[in-house]
Structures are given as C-alpha cells and as structure tokens.
Amino acid sequence: MNTRKPKEREHYRIRLEDGTLVEVTREVYLCWYQMRRKEKYQKEKEQKHHVYSLEAMQGNNFYSDLSIPDEVDVENIVLRDFMREQVREMIRELTEYEQAIVYCLYYLNLNTVETAQELGKSRRIILFRKRQILEKLKKKCTKRKIDQI
C-alpha cells in the first residue's frame, strides 16, 4: 500500500468547515490528511460502482415511506400462518394434475404458456383448469369459512 506523506513544511494548516484556517502540528496534519484521502477514495469507489447511501436516497425523497413498525402484530401473523396452512391443506386435497398446475403457476411463477409447455398441454386447457381450480378452492374456503386468503 502506498503511504504517501506530504513533504516537510514549516507550518501545517487545516481548513475547517466554516472556512477558517487552523495551524496544527505535523502529526495532526498527517492524521487529517490520511482521513481526508480515505474519504476521497471511498467516494471515488462508490461513484465507480454506483453505490448510494440510504441517507442520501432518503434526502432525495427515495424510500420516504421506509419505516419499521413500532409493534409486531402477533395476531395477524398467527392468522396469516393459519390461513396459509388451510390453503396448503386444500391444495393437498386437489388431484395430482391440479396440484401440478398450482405448483407451476404459483410456486414456480410460470406463466400459462410455460406451464402448458411444462405439463405438455395447451395454453387454453391450462387457463380453463386454472379457473376451475380457483373456483374449487374458493368454494372450499367459504365452506371452511376462511374469508381472507
């Protein structure tokens, strides 16, 4: 690592943020110079790699709604987990072919064309079966009185 130091001088001065010059010892100046160089290097590196701080982004109204909730709503978490488990049970009650369609569409996030190719069926059949499956699951939800999925 190159540790270049400024040449010897009679007086060492540092300009403060308010613009005033302050005379300091060589050791203080060398420490300040090293820190200034590190900051400059970090800024150059961030610009080169397009890195932005979260504070800078918030200052430009990016992520202005980013906040951490004060309280964790345990009741909603438990209800959501319960509903997920209910949906999993209902999916297990479907036929193997229907489960394959659900898996491709909702777990693998494939579109209908990709799902049709994966299962060796036409796109229209997959769309038709998808509607049937959703209707079947909707009926099971109302039967089990699960109102929010």
Write phi, then psi, for 12 (nearest 5 degrees).
Answer: -120, 125
Here the CATH number for the domain that contains residue 112 is 1.10.10.10
- To the nearest 10 degrees (0 to 180), the angle between helices 74-92 and 123-144 is 120
In a domain, 5, yes or no: no
pLDDT of 149: 44
In a domain, 2, yes or no: no
CB proximity list for 58: less than 8 A, separation 6 or greater:
64, 66
Q: Average pLDDT of each block of 10 consecutive residues along the chain (149 residues)? A: 70 86 87 88 82 64 58 82 88 92 91 93 95 92 69
In a domain, 96, yes or no: yes
Range of the domain at 28: 12-59
In a domain, 21, yes or no: yes
Tokens of 34: 């090293």
Please indicate, yes or no, whether residues 78 and 139 belong to a single structural domain of this protein: yes
pLDDT of 93: 92
